[in-house]
């Protein structure tokens, strides 16, 4: 069984019929009339554990998530316990005719104002950590989210009114006619135990589509932290008592490589797979925006249709730059404890399948102004983010136990590799102390790129070429053993799945139609010492000679 959980959705998957990609997950919803309102059934594509002939078996497919009763006046629910009989702040419990126990809560921090959630008690299959550190399953009795009821608000049951931008009479002068924006954001939320939570988003935003001043359209891809673990490699969510040997591969890797125009993997080799939602079609949504000028600088505020969430971006564009550069300066994402974002715009739409080969000789590549502490206050960043010497800015937020890390990234280290891709030379990935290998390839749509990266010592460890880390042992000594084994990994078709990260990325195009930078989100990082750590990072590399 699957324990349904409420989604943190930017598009309302609960009441919008059809199939959607939201926060990196696949949802589908169907609605039908119900009394004087509408009832919608939402399903999610997920891994489900069931017991078959005494064994716990995992399968993937569409499963029930919840029912939603679309907003209606409380007066329609005065005799129905699913809405606590319409009482504000109501809280009821009852036993149904089939013996199942139910409870409903309304107008709480969990439900939000003008809403109720109902839970039923059921026996479900839950995972747990075994005494040996592995992952097991067992039956357990839990309260399971089943449905929600929404109420209209205001006098006489008026419908909810979401905020929108005030009418605009002229385009923002500080944008200099730039309507095509590339955006990357990372929003972290309160940790659930030791597990970090958050959402990353990459998008292309067009201002004033079709000449409609003050409106925008966004095509976005979103990822949750747990999306980094492959659906067919789910055992890496927990400790692994016996490290794997060799590579595991599947048809998914082959399909991804064909889409990236990469040659097939040699026999016995494996690859890190990019998030499936990024290779698919983006979710499209729209809204209104306003320009704000004053003592705090020039800003752009986005309002999404049918949402109370807004984001404000501060203009950090230097004079005479051929593209606009903005930084997320304010937002009202619910439960967010940190948010980082960049927005880069030009007069030209993003290019598709743009070759990276001519770009590797450009000098210099430098830190974006939006993270340079000389130009922008660092108060919203977890640590001093960037500087003139940083060509790649990376923020690691996968776990509170992991240190944040920056990585220097030099395009001059790369060589061309066909199909517009760039790749690290053999001399780099053959180094013993810190051999690493990566490639970046352009995709044929939406200005997308995929960057695959791995470190040889991690691959050596994952393939059992150095001893597993023992708690209490010296980590430097353990790393020395892995580094000693790393030359044995140079013949792997890299990046190997164990030990690799994947960055999905979008192009930053300037007014002259040149590639000016890259914005991306890291969707996976594998560390097989004890478990798989799913992380996200945000980087931006801006060319200084545009």
Cα distances from 333 to residues 10, 26, 185, 439, in angstroms, run 10, 21, 12, 34
**Domain membership flag for residue 8:** no
Report strand pairing: 336-346 vs 180-192.
antiparallel
Q: Using an 8 Å Cβ cutoff, are 50 and 56 in contact? A: yes
CA 365 – CA 367 distance, rounded (Å): 7
CA 396 – CA 406 distance, rounded (Å): 8
Q: Is 155 left (phi over 0), alpha (psi -120 to 50) or beta?
A: beta
**Domain membership flag for residue 166:** no
Q: Using an 8 Å Cβ cutoff, are 527 and 236 in contact? A: no
**Domain membership flag for residue 163:** no
* 136 lies in the same domain as 179: no
**Domain membership flag for residue 457:** yes
Question: Model confidence over 312-358: pLDDT tens digits?
Answer: 999 999 888 899 999 998 888 877 777 888 899 999 998 788 888 77
Cα distances from 113 to residues 149, 158, 385, 544, in angstroms, run 11, 14, 37, 49
Q: Token pair of 133, please?
A: 């550190």
* 89 lies in the same domain as 213: no
State which of 117, 151, 185 marks the end of a domain: 151
Question: Does position 398 have pLDDT exceeding 70, yes or no?
Answer: no
* 140 lies in the same domain as 186: no
pTM score, whole prediction: 0.67
pLDDT at site 362: 67
Tell me the mean pLDDT in the region 141-153. 90
* 472 lies in the same domain as 538: yes
Average pLDDT, the chain: 75
* 242 lies in the same domain as 380: yes
> What is the number of structural domains in the chain?
2
CA 72 – CA 255 distance, rounded (Å): 46
* 260 lies in the same domain as 201: yes
Question: Model confidence over 308-319: pLDDT tens digits?
Answer: 789 999 999 988
* 221 lies in the same domain as 291: yes
**Closest C-alpha among 362, 369, 352, 387 to residue 509:** 352
Print the SS3 string covering 89-106: CCEEEEECCCCCEEEEEE
**Domain membership flag for residue 249:** yes
* Residue 83 lies in domain: 18-151
pLDDT at site 158: 45
């Amino acid at each position: 069984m699957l324990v349904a959980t409420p989604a943190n959705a930017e598009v309302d998957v609960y009441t919008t019929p059809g199939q959607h990609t939201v926060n990196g997950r696949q949802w589908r919803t169907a609605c039908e009339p119900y009394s004087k309102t509408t009832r919608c059934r939402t399903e999610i594509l997920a891994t489900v554990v069931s017991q078959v002939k005494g064994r716990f078996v995992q399968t993937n497919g569409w499963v029930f998530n919840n029912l939603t009763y679309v907003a209606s006046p409380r007066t329609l629910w005065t005799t129905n316990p699913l809405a606590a009989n319409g009482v504000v702040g109501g809280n009821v419990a009852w036993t149904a005719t089939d013996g199942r126990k139910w409870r409903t809560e309304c107008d709480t921090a969990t439900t939000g104002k003008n809403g109720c959630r109902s839970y039923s008690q059921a026996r479900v299959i839950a995972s747990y950590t075994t005494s040996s550190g592995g992952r097991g399953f067992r039956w357990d009795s839990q309260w399971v989210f089943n449905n929600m009821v929404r109420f209209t608000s205001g006098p006489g049951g008026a419908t909810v009114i979401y905020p929108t931008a005030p009418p605009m009479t002229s385009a923002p002068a500080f944008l200099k006619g730039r309507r095509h924006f590339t955006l990357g954001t990372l929003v972290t939320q309160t940790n659930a135990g030791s597990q970090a939570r958050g959402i990353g988003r990459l998008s292309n935003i067009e201002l004033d589509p079709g000449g409609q001043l003050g409106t925008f359209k966004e095509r976005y891809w979103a990822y949750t932290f747990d999306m980094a673990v492959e659906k067919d490699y789910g055992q890496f969510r927990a400790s692994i008592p016996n490290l794997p040997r060799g590579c595991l591969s599947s048809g998914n890797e082959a399909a991804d490589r064909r889409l990236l125009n990469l040659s097939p993997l040699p026999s016995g080799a494996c690859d890190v797979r990019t998030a499936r939602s990024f290779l698919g079609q983006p979710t499209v949504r729209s809204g209104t925006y306003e320009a704000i000028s004053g003592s705090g600088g020039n800003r752009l505020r986005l309002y999404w249709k049918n949402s109370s969430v807004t984001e404000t971006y501060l203009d950090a564009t230097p004079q005479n730059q051929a593209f606009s550069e903005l930084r997320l300066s304010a937002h009202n994402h619910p439960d967010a404890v940190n948010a980082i974002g960049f927005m880069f715009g030009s007069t030209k739409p993003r290019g598709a399948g743009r070759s990276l080969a001519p770009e590797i000789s450009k000098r210099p590549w430098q830190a974006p102004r939006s993270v340079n502490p000389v130009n922008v206050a660092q108060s919203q960043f977890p640590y001093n983010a960037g500087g003139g010497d940083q060509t790649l800015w990376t923020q690691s937020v996968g776990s509170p136990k992991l240190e944040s890390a920056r990585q220097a990234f030099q395009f001059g280290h790369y060589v061309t590799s066909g199909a517009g891709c760039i790749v690290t030379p053999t001399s780099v990935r053959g180094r013993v102390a810190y051999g690493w290998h990566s490639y970046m390839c352009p995709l044929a749509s939406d200005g997308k790129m995929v960057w695959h990266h791995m470190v040889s010592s991690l691959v050596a460890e994952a393939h059992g070429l150095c001893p597993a880390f023992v708690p209490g042992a010296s980590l430097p000594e353990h790393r020395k053993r892995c580094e000693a084994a790393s030359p044995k990994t140079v013949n792997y078709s890299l990046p190997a799945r164990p030990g690799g990260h994947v960055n999905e990325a979008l192009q930053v195009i300037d007014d002259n139609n040149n590639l000016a930078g890259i914005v991306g989100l890291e969707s996976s990082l594998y560390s097989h010492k004890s478990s798989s750590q799913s992380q996200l990072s945000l980087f931006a590399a801006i060319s200084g000679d545009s």
